[in-house]
């Protein structure tokens, strides 16, 4: 397993947002956490990336216990993230945002040009808009930039928090195609989504979160074919 989460509990004050969840992300896989609003998806992501403390449980990445490790150290170890709501630096240009994604790399003089080329190949729009202020880009473009910025750090594990949020159906399909392409390049992906249909299509394995607990898990295709999952998460179609 590249990422192992065991018995994770996370609180906001006295509110138990995550209760004793365990899941694993095997190397080279796409794993998705699916759940309704408030299920605890974002909290789980923030805890894995080190932006929120753990109340109980353990997080192991690449064989190392990272449960209490600072967020920036996790980035250096190879955990990259494109956060919910994009989180790009609005006043900086597209190019500056991408460069920020590589700021911690010691070899960046060598890697940045290569990695920029990779990102621009995945997202030609970002190349066209390289000098535009990130805050003036459309929602879809900002999502692409957030993913591109995370890739600039050459992550082993990419955390994607609701990449399809707020996007038109055509753009959603495009974002998921790019996620599959990034996976094809050897990046392991943990994907959090409300868009269960697309996420199950893309994922090797899926976990269903309900009010802070994992209630089901299975292969993406098995869950997509399951009647109760279809009724609850796929609008019954
Ligand atoms: P969404 O898809 O709506 O973002 P989510 O599955 O990502 O939902 P979380 O944002 O992780 O859910 O929230 C899980 C629970 O924790 C919710 O009940 C939420 O109200 C609560 N919560 C989240 N952030 C805070 C906070 N800063 N303070 C108090 N409670 C919080």
CA distance 13 to 22: 22
pLDDT at 85: 67
Query: Could you give the C-alpha distances from 85 to 147, 149, 160, 195, in angstroms and in order?
Result: 12, 14, 11, 15
Q: Among the atoms of ligand 1, which is closest to the Cα of residue 15?
A: 30
CA–centroid distance, residue 164 to ligand 1 (Å): 18
On the 0-12 / 13-18 / 19+ scale of CB atoms within 10 A, 10 is: buried
Backbone angles phi, psi at 35, to 5 degrees: 180, 160
Is any ligand 1 atom within 6 A of the Cβ of residue 42?
yes
pLDDT at 106: 79
pLDDT exceeds 90 at position 73: yes
Q: Which of 58, 36, 39, 63 is nearest to 47 (CA)?
A: 58
CA distance 76 to 119: 19
Is any ligand 1 atom within 6 A of the Cβ of residue 35?
yes
CA distance 215 to 223: 12
Count how many residues are written for the chain. Answer: 237
pLDDT exceeds 70 at position 237: no
CA distance 204 to 198: 12
CA–centroid distance, residue 181 to ligand 1 (Å): 30
ipTM: 0.91
pLDDT in tens, 138-152: 988 999 999 999 999
Percent of the residues in the chain that have a pLDDT greater than 90, as a whole number: 74
Percent of the residues in the chain that have a pLDDT greater than 70, as a whole number: 98
Q: Among the atoms of ligand 1, which is closest to the Cα of residue 84?
A: 4
pLDDT in tens, 110-124: 888 999 999 999 999
pLDDT exceeds 70 at position 51: yes
Least confident of 7-11, 19-23, 220-224, 230-234: 230-234
Is any ligand 1 atom within 6 A of the Cβ of residue 15?
yes
Is any ligand 1 atom within 6 A of the Cβ of residue 214?
no
């Amino acid at each position: 397993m590249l990422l192992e989460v065991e018995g994770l509990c996370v609180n906001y004050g006295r509110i138990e947002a995550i209760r004793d969840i365990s899941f694993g992300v095997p190397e080279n896989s796409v794993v998705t956490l699916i759940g309704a609003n408030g299920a605890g998806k974002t909290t789980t992501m923030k805890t894995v990336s080190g932006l929120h403390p753990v109340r109980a449980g353990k997080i192991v990445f690449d064989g190392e216990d990272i449960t209490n490790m600072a967020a920036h150290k996790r980035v250096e170890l190879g955990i990259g993230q494109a956060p919910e709501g994009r989180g790009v630096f609005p006043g900086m240009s597209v190019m500056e945002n991408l460069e920020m994604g590589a700021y911690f790399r010691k070899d960046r003089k060598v890697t940045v040009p290569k990695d920029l080329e990779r990102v621009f190949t995945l997202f030609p729009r970002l190349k066209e808009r390289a000098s535009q202020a990130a805050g003036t880009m459309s929602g879809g473009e900002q999502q692409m930039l957030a993913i591109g910025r995370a890739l600039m750090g050459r992550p082993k594990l990419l955390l994607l928090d609701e990449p399809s949020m707020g996007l038109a159906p055509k753009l959603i399909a495009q974002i998921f195609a790019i996620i599959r392409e990034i996976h094809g390049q050897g990046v392991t992906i943990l994907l959090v989504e409300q868009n269960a249909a697309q996420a199950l299509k893309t994922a090797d394995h899926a976990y269903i979160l309900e009010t802070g607990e994992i209630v089901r898990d299975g292969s993406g295709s098995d869950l997509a074919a399951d009647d109760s999952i279809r009724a609850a998460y796929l609008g019954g179609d």
